Amino acid sequence: DAGVIQSPRHEVTEMGQEVTLRCKPISGHNSLFWYRQTMMRGLELLIYFNNNVPIDDSGMPEDRFSAKMPNASFSTLKIQPSEPRDSAVYFCASRPTGPGNTIYFGEGSWLTVV
């Protein structure tokens, strides 16, 4: 079975540019999570969706960040405009609905903003 698929795997962009990260969750998984990982702050939950609906976006750092899930098989995380402090690994993860279920991560999108 295909796992969580993220793209791009690596991106280097200039400050001020728009960045769009994409995620395809595992088929049949109803919950989708976006995390950001840095050495300083660890693995932070940015936002999560249940059945394509954003449930909690309290982890989104500021208005420059936005996330959408137009259907069950696709989600985007957008940063506009990007700043050097946004440099991090962004992970998408999915699971079947329910707190007892395991979440599965994609391989991550490594973002560098220069």
Partner 1 sequence: RKEVEQDPGPFNVPEGATVAFNCTYSNSASQSFFWYRQDCRKEPKLLMSVYSSGNEDGRFTAQLNRASQYISLLIRDSKLSDSATYLCATSYDKVIFGPGTSLSVIP
Residues that bind partner 1 (CB under 8 A): 33, 35, 42-43, 45, 48, 50, 55-56, 91, 93, 95, 99-108
> Rounded to a whole number, what is the distance in angstroms from the first to the last CA of the chain?
36
Q: CB 90 → partner 1: shortest distance, Å?
A: 11
Q: CB 103 → partner 1: shortest distance, Å?
A: 5
Q: Which two tokens stand for residue 21?
A: 């990260």
Nearer to partner 1, 7 or 81 (CB): 7
Alpha-carbon torsion, ordered 90, 64, 80, 76, to 10 deg: 50
Q: CB 108 → partner 1: shortest distance, Å?
A: 6
Q: Tell me the residue type at 14.
A: E
